[in-house]
Amino acid sequence: MDVTSIDDLIVAIVASVDAAVAYPVYDGPPTSLPARTVTQFVAIGADNLDNLGNGEIDPPAEAATMTQEWKGLGQKARYETASIHCVAVGRADTVANARALAKAVITDVGGSIGIHPTNTSYNALISDVTAVKSKPTSGGAYVHILFTISANARLT
């Protein structure tokens, strides 16, 4: 019996989004930033990318939280609800333009997961946008939009 579906869910979501978009899709926080010419990317399974440009994430990124519920006495199956933390990133000449690019990433992710459920999950959707972080830089600006994908799975 599976203990959790979180690995299968994250792998399936990363594969689905990666197949649908032209920009980088990371499973968890990237180990380094993509080239400066990349204006959009997304990290599935990370609640922050703070200080990534310095070579580390501080504090460490939380990938997901899960809860499980037994559906009846003596049943072997459980139902799991997963909240997968994600960060959409936009980089542009202004904060407004970078925010628009990051928001477009969320739209792409939402469209992809809605039409590509996994074999064991259902109702994957973007359930929350939890924060918008922006930072002007010497070459423009970047924006991180933190969001959550919620999905349900049946564990047998």
pLDDT at residue 4, rounded to an integer: 84
| Cα(48)–Cα(51) distance, integer angstroms | 9
- Interior CA angle at 7 toward 48 and 75, to 5°? 125
CATH architecture of 6-155: 2-Layer Sandwich (3.30)
Residue 93: band (very low, low, confident or very high) from pLDDT cuts 50, 70, 90: very high
What is the distance of C-alpha 40 from the center of its chain? 13
Cα–Cα distance list, 101 to 43, 62, 72, 73, 96 (Å):
14, 24, 46, 48, 9
Domain boundaries along the sequence of the chain: 6-155
pLDDT tops 60 at residue 121: no
CA neighbor of 42 nearest in space, from 131, 98, 109: 109
Model pLDDT for residues 67-79, shown as the tens digit of each residue = 988 877 777 788 8
Model pLDDT for residues 22-55, shown as the tens digit of each residue = 999 999 998 888 888 999 999 999 998 887 766 6
